Amino acid sequence: MIEEKTVILRTEHLKAFYLLEVHGTQKTVKAVNDVDIQIYENEIYGIAGESGCGKTTLLKTLFGEIVPPLRLIDGKIFYRIDDDEVDVSRMKSEAKRKLRMEYISYIPQGSMSVFNPVLKIKGTFADFIGSHVHGQSRAEIFELARERILELGLPKNVLDVYPHQLSGGMRQRVTIALAASLNPRIMIGDEPTTALDVVVQRGVIQMLKDIQKNLKNTIVLVTHDMGVHANIADRIGIMYAGKLIEEATTEKIFAQPLHPYTQFLINSLPKFGDKSMRDSVPGSPPSLADLPTGCPFHPRCPHVKDICRQEMPNFHHLDENHKVACWLVGEA
Amino acid sequence: MNFIKRYLIPRLISYFLVIWLGITIVFFIPRLIPNDPVIKMVDQMRARGSTLEPGTMDGIIHDLTVMYGLEGSTLEQYRDFWVRLAHGDLGVSFFQFPAPVSDLIATALPWTLGLLLTTTAISWVFGNIIGGLAGYYTRRSWSRTLDAVAMVIRPMPYYIFSFVLLLLFTYVWRWFPVTGGASLGALPEFTWGYIKDVLWHSFLPGLSLSALGMAVNFQVMKLLVQNINAEDYVQYARLGGVTNTRIVSKYIIRNALLPQITGLALSFGQIFSGALITEIVFGYPGVGMLLYRAIINGDYNLIMGITMLSIVGITTAMLIVDLAYPLLDPRVRYT
């Protein structure tokens, strides 16, 4: 499968920290700590990692939505728009606002409070679409929304109800339909499958896959559920403590995980026929406000060496698609 | 139709039940106090030195008892009370005998309404606007300054705050009158001069009420806006590139105002009981002042009349809020 791949979304040494003042002392939460990722056109890229490892913050920075206490400390974010690379971190907020929905759209977790509780779903559609498409009447926007909803196999009356009248799965699918409604080039999902039971989860995953197939766009999906990644992602990046530590195609990650943390994540999945106890990662993730020296995983790593405590390893590229940052691999 | 049967009728029944219960309690409590207003009146007459023959005295006691509505057992009085009330008769005041209670209230009510409607409206409108802005721009220094000011004003007891105003503005700098609702001897008339006089007199009580009310509304609204600003649906709208005007008006303000509207309706309901402490401190001739004097003098009928007004005011406000809420918040439905 040699094909020319175009990078659509790229970060360079991205560092975004929360600068907090707690009881008079400055605290720095290093939520995104020197992340370089490249995401291609027409792929589904999964970002995996435990809770509190900076996944959601990474998504926010990818949107250029950096509001205090979150600060962009260093690095750049590029979108590829019409064959031009645009540095989002330097864009004005109105320009960034215009890109949303039309170029890059967001799929939130379909929680109870994801929609404005006093608006009907069509009101939310009208606000989101009407903020970008000009010169269209409300009726035309509703028509567009209705088409989208039917295309994606949702019942058309979802537009006429209030958010609290929808089930969790339906709310989640409405967020996806909304994100897809202006045919964006990039869709970014923040745990869109998390609060759903597996049957509904399957429907949501299928819906995302179908949309991606139709629009040939890029989906970035954040979830801690490796099972979901296995089902949907083309490539997976593993995050730990605000850093990307391993990245490979989905097959490689599952077949040949190299970082001890990735190995733990994969081994904790249940397998058919294997009734042995699943090992979980020992210990808990470090506080992003007080990171250990060297490789942030070393306090939990069973293969820890002296150098791990002193220095963060660089990426070792096994091949074009597989890179890992661990002293056990390559550089050792 | 379902709404009427399942919600409206039970709600109206409870509305009248609460009013009846409230009035009944207010009827019996003063009568349980060992303090006979007839004897008190007679004692007052005696204290003034009027000596009467025992026969005449008995006649007076009897007449007073009838006029006060204190004939017979308490239960008979209770029955007669409802009969009189059905005819719109609240009885006569004891201490401003023989003025009817309804007349006294009718004289005091415009003062209270004028003062409290204005201050409630001012403190709600400005408290919410400033609080909303401060909650939205919560990291700005002016927002923190305002928050600190509200923090100082709000917990201050009414009487302290009023006394400070009174001391400063009527004694240290003699800008405003010490007491009263208008200048002594000024006749109520619809002229600019009289209106100016009334406004001048009500400035300090109005200021004390609005400042405190504004501080409360400010703090509540600031907190509401801060919380809603962090809600998922606001964050989502931002990431969906919804224009800021829409986010602020339809997402933040719309949701923050829901509880505030309830608060406003309830404070309008409370207006009828007057602003007791403020009116006493500033000698303002409103319902609060009337109630204060009624309590001091053991004036059952007057206490009764004012309390009844306030019971009806608050329960009606609550009824209106309950009935209007589904129009404001789609999550509330009575089916």
* Domains of chain B from N-terminus onward: 15-86 (no CATH), 109-328 (1.10.3720.10)
- A113 inside 8 A of chain B by CB: yes
Give the gap in angstroms from C-alpha A176 to the nearest C-alpha of chain B. Answer: 12
Averaged pLDDT of chain A: 87
What pLDDT shows up at residue B91? 79
Whether the CB-CB separation of A226 and A265 falls below 8 Å is answered with yes
3-class DSSP assignment, residue B322 = helix
pLDDT, tens digit, 9 for 90 and up, residues A159-201: 999 999 998 888 998 999 999 988 899 999 998 888 888 888 8
State the Cα–Cα distance between residues B248 and B137, nearest whole angstrom: 12
Which of B137, B138, B140, B242 should one mutate to test binding to chain A, selecting the residue with the greatest count of A CBs within 10 A?
Answer: B242
State the Cα–Cα distance between residues A34 and B138, nearest whole angstrom: 30
State the Cα–Cα distance between residues B131 and B143, nearest whole angstrom: 9
Residues in chain A closer than 8 A to B329 (CB atoms): 117-118
The runs of H, that is alpha helices, within chain A are 55-62, 93-99, 121-130, 138-151, 168-180, 198-215, 226-232, 250-255, 260-267, 306-310
- A119 inside 8 A of chain B by CB: yes
pLDDT, tens digit, 9 for 90 and up, residues B251-288: 999 999 989 988 898 888 888 777 788 888 888 888 88
The domain ranges of chain A are: 7-95+190-276, 104-183
- Please list the pLDDT of chain B residue by residue as tens digits (335 residues): 677 778 888 899 999 999 999 999 988 887 887 777 777 777 777 777 767 777 788 888 888 887 777 777 888 888 888 888 888 888 788 777 778 888 888 888 888 888 889 999 999 999 999 999 999 998 888 999 999 998 888 888 888 888 888 888 888 887 877 777 777 666 677 777 777 887 888 888 888 889 889 999 999 999 999 999 988 999 999 999 899 999 999 999 999 998 998 889 888 888 877 778 888 888 888 888 898 888 887 787 888 889 888 899 889 988 988 888 888 888 887 76
Query: What are the distances in angstroms from CA A89 to CA A63, A72, A303?
Result: 9, 8, 38
CA within 13 Å, CB half, B298:
13
State the Cα–Cα distance between residues B162 and B279, nearest whole angstrom: 10
Q: Is the peptide bond before B98 cis (omega within 30 degrees of 0)?
A: yes
Whether the CB-CB separation of B175 and B169 falls below 8 Å is answered with yes
How confident is residue A2, by pLDDT bands cut at 50, 70 and 90?
Answer: very low
State the Cα–Cα distance between residues A265 and B104, nearest whole angstrom: 80
Q: Is the pLDDT of residue A1 over 50?
A: no
Q: Is the pLDDT of residue A109 over 70?
A: yes
What pLDDT shows up at residue A133? 85
Q: Which residue of A101, A131, A164 is in closest CB contact with B331?
A: A164
Name the more confident of A106 and B156: A106
Q: Which of A31-45, A120-134, B26-40, B297-311 has the lowest mean pLDDT?
A: B26-40
Q: E-assigned strands of B115-254?
A: none
Whether the CB-CB separation of B333 and A164 falls below 8 Å is answered with no
Query: What are the distances in angstroms from CA A310 to CA A137, A294, B238, B239, B324?
Result: 61, 4, 41, 39, 66
Whether the CB-CB separation of B273 and B113 falls below 8 Å is answered with no
Q: Is the pLDDT of residue A62 over 50?
A: yes
State the Cα–Cα distance between residues A297 and A326, nearest whole angstrom: 10
- B16 inside 8 A of chain A by CB: no
Q: Is the peptide bond before B177 cis (omega within 30 degrees of 0)?
A: no
Strands A84-87 and A235-240: unpaired
Residues 6+ apart with CB under 8 A from B184: none
DSSP, residue by residue, A150-213: HHTT--GGGGGS-GGGS-HHHHHHHHHHHHHTT--SEEEEESTTTTS-HHHHHHHHHHHHHHHH
Reported CATH class of domain A7-95+190-276: alpha beta
Mean predicted confidence (pLDDT) in A215-236: 90
Q: Is the pLDDT of residue A131 over 80?
A: yes
Pick from B168, B109, B143, B70: nearest CA to B308: B109
Name the more confident of A254 and B29: A254
Taking an 8 Å cut-off on Cβ atoms, the answer to whether A118 and B231 are in contact is no
Taking an 8 Å cut-off on Cβ atoms, the answer to whether A114 and B232 are in contact is yes
Tokens encoding B326: 């589904």
Taking an 8 Å cut-off on Cβ atoms, the answer to whether A164 and B233 are in contact is no
How confident is residue A3, by pLDDT bands cut at 50, 70 and 90?
Answer: low
Strands A104-107 and A186-190: parallel
Q: Which residue of A has its CA nearest to B230?
A: A113
pLDDT, tens digit, 9 for 90 and up, residues B146-197: 999 988 888 888 888 888 888 888 888 878 777 777 776 666 777 777 778 8
Mean predicted confidence (pLDDT) in A223-244: 90
Q: Which residue of A60, A116, A131 is in closest CB contact with B243?
A: A131
pLDDT, tens digit, 9 for 90 and up, residues A49-58: 888 888 888 9
How many residues are listed for chain A in this entry? 332
Give the gap in angstroms from C-alpha A104 to the nearest C-alpha of chain B. Answer: 9
State the Cα–Cα distance between residues A331 and B234, nearest whole angstrom: 46
How many residues are listed for chain B in this entry? 335
Pick from B87, B28, B54, B41: nearest CA to B300: B28
Distance from the Cα of residue A311 to its chain's centroid: 27
What pLDDT shows up at residue B161? 84
What pLDDT shows up at residue A332? 46
3-class DSSP assignment, residue A66 = coil
3-class DSSP assignment, residue B220 = helix
Q: Which residue of B139, B240, B328 is in closest CB contact with A100?
A: B240
The side-by-side arrangement of strands in the sheet containing A186-190 is: A104-107, A186-190, A218-222, A44-48, A235-240, A243-249, A322-324, A316-319
What pLDDT shows up at residue B1? 66
3-class DSSP assignment, residue A19 = strand
Give the gap in angstroms from C-alpha B133 to the nearest C-alpha of chain A. Answer: 17
Residues in chain A closer than 8 A to B251 (CB atoms): 116
- pTM here is 0.80
The DSSP output letter for B8 is I
Q: Which residue of B has its CA nearest to A161?
A: B330
